[in-house]
Amino acid sequence: MTSMLTEVSANRSFGGWHRRYRHYSSVLDCEMTFAVYLPPAAEVRLVPALWWLSGLTCTDENFMQKAGAHGVAAELGMAIVCPDTSPRGTELPGEHDSYDFGSGAGFYLNATREPWNAHYRMYDYVTRELPALVEEQLPLTDQKSISGHSMGGHGALVCALRNPELFSSVSAFAPVCNPSRCPWGVKAFSGYLGDDRESWKEWDACELIRGGARVKELLVDQGDADNFLADGQLQPEALRDACEQARLPLQLRTQPDYDHSYFFIASFIEDHLRHHAGVLNATR
């Protein structure tokens, strides 16, 4: 039985609507909240959507309130769908003990290790359950692109590489490029997937590319003042090397003096929205 959406709030924005919804997720076995920006065009026709995956500790609210994306999305006739970053309210042991594992840190994978495998299946949620739900109940076409930031950038890359037929285009801001070889990823993958590192490869963009996964092109922005570069969390050079070896087109833009914050995202989100709109319009 299809879950029904319950509207939590609605705000007029640039002639369209920013709406938050709650629903029960059978995939995650809990109540979930997500946000959608519907441009003015959605009042007269179905519109394509950009899916935005947020980073560690975020909810749907961070991007919608800080990125400054609504005005351009309104102009382009593009919706934005922003899921949460993990299941909520499951109260698993240790779920809230750290910022980079458990609550707010679902890493957009399907956990296989108990007790996480009962709820932490964010990959299935954002690629299967939630798209089917919103495309059935909201004025959206089945055409979609995907983007994200940090942990969400990792999620966007992995979701697109594993589903090139599902997402028309993909981009990322400061993504966790090689999670099986960085502190955040090793902690998350060990906890959610166990110690078999071979199984980690299906959730690592660099490993997926090395294994033959392909998309038409990748657009990635990275600030050179990002404090997570120095401690090896992001590793854009690993993504560049993997793409070069695979001859996969990558536009990796290094932005001088920009850090990891939403000031960085807000500065370049228009470029990404126009990039995705161009692809989506070409495939209509």
Would 254 be classed as within a structural domain?
A: yes
pLDDT greater than 60 at residue 227? yes
Q: What global pTM score does this model have?
A: 0.97
Residue 109, in any domain of the structure: yes
- CATH number of the domain residue 153 falls in: 3.40.50.1820
pLDDT per residue over 29-67, tens digit each? 999 999 999 999 999 999 999 999 999 999 999 999 999
CA pair distance 154, 172, nearest whole angstrom? 8
Query: Is residue 54, in this structure, part of any structural domain at all?
Result: no
User: What is the pLDDT of the chain when averaged over all its residues?
Assistant: 97
CA 227 to chain centre: 21
pLDDT bucket at 211, cuts 50 / 70 / 90: very high
Q: Which two tokens stand for residue 142?
A: 């089945």
pLDDT at residue 1 greater than cutoff 60? no
Q: Which of 13, 145, 147, 150 is catalytic?
A: 150
Instruction: Encode pLDDT of 228-268 as tens digits.
Output: 999 999 999 999 999 999 999 999 999 999 999 999 999 99
The yes-or-no verdict on residue 80 having pLDDT over 90 is yes
Closest CA to 150 of 268, 262, 251, 275: 262
Q: Could you tell me if residue 206 is inside a domain?
A: yes
Number of structural domains the chain divides into = 1
Other Cβ atoms closer than 10 A to 78: 27
Tell me whether residue 260 is one of the annotated catalytic residues: yes
Structural domain contains residue 20: no
State the Cα angle at 262 between 186 and 100, rounded to 5°: 20
- Catalytic one among 54, 226, 272, 275? 226
pLDDT value, residue 2: 67
Does 171 reside within a domain?
yes
Q: How far apart are CA 207 and CA 219, in angstroms?
A: 18
Structure tokens at 94: 């240790």
Instruction: Report DSSP letters for the chain, one per residue.
Output: -PPPPEEEEEEEETTEEEEEEEEEETTTTEEEEEEEEE-GGGGTS-EEEEEEE--TT--HHHHHHHS--HHHHHHHT-EEEE--SS--S---TTTTSBTTBBTTB-TTSB--STTGGGT-BHHHIIIIIHHHHHHHHSSEEEEEEEEEBTHHHHHHHHHHHH-TTT-S-BEEES----GGGSHHHHHHHHHHH-S-HHHHGGG-HHHHHHTT---S-EEEEEETT-HHHHTTSS-HHHHHHHHHHHT--EEEEEETT--SSHHHHHHHHHHHHHHHHHHHHHT-
Q: Examine residue 115 and say whether the peptide bond preceding it is cis (omega within 30 degrees of 0).
A: yes
Question: Is residue 91 domain-resident?
Answer: yes
Range of the domain at 66: 62-142+149-282
What are 122-173's pLDDT values in tens digits?
A: 999 999 999 999 999 999 999 999 999 999 999 999 999 999 999 999 999 9
**What are the backbone dihedrals phi and psi of residue 253, each rounded to the nearest 5 degrees, phi first?**
-105, 120
How much is the average pLDDT of 195-203? 97
85-116 in b/e burial notation, b at 16+ Cβ within 10 A? Answer: bbbbebeeeebeeeebbbbbbbbbbbbeeeeb
Does residue 270 belong to any structural domain of this protein?
yes
